[in-house]
Amino acid sequence: MSAPAIAGEKPDIEHLRQWIGRTEEATDVVTAQLVKGLRATLFQEIGQPKAGDAAPFTTHWCLAPPVFPMSQLSQDGHPTRGGFLPPVPLPRRMWAGGELEIFEALRVGDEVKRSSRISDVTLKSGSTGTLCFVAVHHEITTPRGTAIKERHDIVYREATSGPQVAPKAAPAPPSAKHRESHMADEVLLFRYSALTFNGHRIHYDRDYVTKVEGYPGLIFHGPLQASFIIEFAAKLHGGQPPKKFVYRGLQPLFEGSEFSVNANENEGGMELWTANSAGQATMKGQATW
């Protein structure tokens, strides 16, 4: 295999595509303490979870996070490039979206295995320059069988100097038949970073995110938005999570103001989205049962 890519280089797509097919496995246990922490972060009743109780439907995003020594972290708090994920030489990494198939909830006490595979690496051009998309497929299993199948889309992009240019305003979303709102504050973001062992500084380091990456404030986690959407969908459907949920991020959601989770029924099942305090959609998804 050729030498790894170096940060600052133009992506060598043929080199990066050599990562397609790579696999890894990780294991973890769903603890009552984790379930309590995630319920609290999702504004749910915390309760006293015991063995066998159902966990929130996106608990798997908190399990078996990669752990690296401090010496192997990049400036942004992510691990240095290479290893399982391809060494994309673009410095900005974001959670772009994905697709979930939910077969059953994870439960307190479950021993969980995550089997992961790089399924695609592609280059595109966007308003911020070159974009590299990496698709990762995960299968989450317990002793009872497959609980979740997932495609996770990661996007890498170039660094830009100065303040980030706000994206063109998307068409206003439809009026929501169902809506709930919460406050996006620093504590909420910190709690989710802690639950997922996520060192990405855009979520907790205001000096870094404003002075280095040029955003106006701390950025709400993509998977946290998706978690709120999926839990809201289940709440509106008698506690049953969607069998399939497809979602994508539209623009960053920042801390410091109210955000909403919205839903409308449609022919396919349910359209859902998160929105900032101005009512602009930041992530949208489609749930089917």
* pLDDT, tens digit (0-9, with 9 covering 90-100), for 12-22: 999 999 999 99
Residue stretches of the chain with pLDDT short of 70: 1-9, 128, 161-173
How far, in Å, CA of 227 to CA of 225, rounded? 5
Q: Given this model, what pLDDT does residue 5 score?
A: 45
State how far the alpha carbon of 143 is from the alpha carbons of 106, 109, 161, in Å: 11, 11, 49
Residue 197 backbone class (left: φ over 0; alpha: ψ -120 to 50; beta: rest): left
Compute the 3-state secondary structure of the chain and give helix, strand, coil in percent, each to the nearest 5: 20, 35, 45
State residue 164's pLDDT score.
Answer: 59
What residues does each domain of the chain span? 13-288
Looking at the domain 13-288, which fold is it? Thiol Ester Dehydrase; Chain A (3.10.129)
Q: Which two tokens stand for residue 146?
A: 């497959």
Buried b (16+ CB within 10 A) or exposed e, 251-274: ebbbbeeebbbbbeeeeebbbbbb
Distance CA 284, CA 274 (A): 6
Residue 285 has a CB neighbour count (10 Å cut-off) of 24
Question: Can you point out the beta strands (E) in the chain?
Answer: 23-29, 92-102, 111-126, 129-142, 145-157, 178-184, 244-249, 257-266, 269-275, 281-288
What SS3 state is found at 160? coil
Which pLDDT value is given to residue 284?
A: 97
- What is the H or E stretch that residue 211 is in? helix 206-211
The pLDDT value recorded for residue 47 is 98
What dihedral do alpha carbons 4, 249, 120, 13 form, nearest 10°?
-40
pLDDT of residue 9: 64
Tokens 């855009």 appear where?
202
Q: Tell me if 129 sits within 8 A of 157, measured CB to CB.
A: yes
